[in-house]
Amino acid sequence: MQLQLQGLALVALTAGTAASQSIRQVFNFSSYVDIENSHLRPNGHLLLSTFDNGRLYTIDPSADNPQAELVSAMPGATALCGITSIGDDKYAVVGGIRGNYSYTNETIYTVDYSGGARNATIAIAAHVSNATMLNGMDSLPEKPHVILLADSRQGAIYRVDTDSGVSTIVIQDEALAAPSNATLPIGVNGLKIRESFVYYTNSARNTFGRVPITVDGDQAGDVEVVAQLNGGTAGYDWDDFVFDEAGVAYAAQPTNAIAEIKSNGQHSIFVGGGNNTLIQGPTSITIARDGKTAYVTTHGDGTNLSGQVLVMQL
């Protein structure tokens, strides 16, 4: 695949947003690639998982002319989803063989740059044979080798120990599932752990919620819907999100915006929306170490416009 920068575009957005917010494209793939998730490394480079070809890429978003470099095509996967850090410059990424809203061979891969390695060592940590559609992922703060993963079809959250390979469902609830009559049968999608709660977006229900958990990721209380998000149209697929230090969530809002969700459930468009055409289907957001610079990934339009990496200031 030929990868090249397609030029920079700086757009001040007006429709439905504060005029001061702006977002800028730093990279897009030159042929169609659907970027699904992202994670920053300590060196400031982004890891990008792709939904349409099972490949993991890396990019230096602060370079003058950022280029995506292939980290690995994950063996046995046609689609990759969530990524999280599980140690010192070591990551887990989930992938499987994509079917019709259903995956087989759901696998947790590890991507290890520890010890200053130039190239990552790829290994298989677990096969989650009972899972249907593993999606968003985060690691337990006190046990980072243990991860929680959303299963969008089962309305469940799996726990996987990336050292032992053992997996189990820790939370399963109607609030995490898609309703049986949903147009888009994708329930829990994005997932992040913060201060004894696992937070999630539910794409079919247009909700942002949380579940109290123990240090081991077991359920410690009822599911709570924090915000009922905008929705209504078919395929209105709220995707992944990130928290800033103050606990404000920035979420990928279909089809062209980033939403800001406060802990009291108040939410609004932070950037994009309206007739904005620069943000082509946001999928994930990552905040750099300065706490201010945020990178947005997108899936493109499915045909002509490819997945992008955009940068904005919080």
Ligand X SMILES: *[C@@H]1O[C@H](CO)[C@@H](O)[C@H](O)[C@H]1NC(C)=O
Residues that bind ligand X (CB under 6 A): 6-7, 9, 15, 25, 28, 30, 76, 100-101, 104-105, 118-119, 129-130, 167, 179, 181-183, 185, 274-275, 300-301, 303-306
Q: How far is the CB of 83 from ligand X (least distance, A)?
A: 20
Residue 228's Cβ-side half-sphere holds a number of Cα atoms within 13 Å equal to 1
* Cα distances (angstroms) measured from residue 209 to each of 34, 150, 199, 227: 26, 13, 6, 7
Residue indicated by tokens 């947003």: 17
Task: Give the integer Cα–Cα distance in Å for 45 and 58.
Answer: 7
Residue 7 or 115: the one with the smaller Cβ distance to ligand X is: 7
Residue 264 or 303: the one with the smaller Cβ distance to ligand X is: 303
Q: How far is the CB of 275 from ligand X (least distance, A)?
A: 4
Task: Give the integer Cα–Cα distance in Å for 58 and 69.
Answer: 5
Residue 179 or 291: the one with the smaller Cβ distance to ligand X is: 179
Q: How far is the CB of 27 from ligand X (least distance, A)?
A: 9
In the numeric block, which tokens belong to residue 91?
A: 């990551």
Q: What are phi and psi of 174, to 5 degrees?
A: -55, -35
Residue 201 or 306: the one with the smaller Cβ distance to ligand X is: 306
Residue 67 or 129: the one with the smaller Cβ distance to ligand X is: 129
Q: How far is the CB of 274 from ligand X (least distance, A)?
A: 4
Q: How far is the CB of 264 from ligand X (least distance, A)?
A: 26
Q: How far is the CB of 2 from ligand X (least distance, A)?
A: 11
Residue 121 or 313: the one with the smaller Cβ distance to ligand X is: 121
Q: Which residues lie closer than 8 Å to 17 by C-beta, 6 or more apart? A: 257, 269, 270, 271, 272, 273, 274
Q: Which residues lie closer than 8 Å to 85 by C-beta, 6 or more apart? A: 39, 91, 139, 144
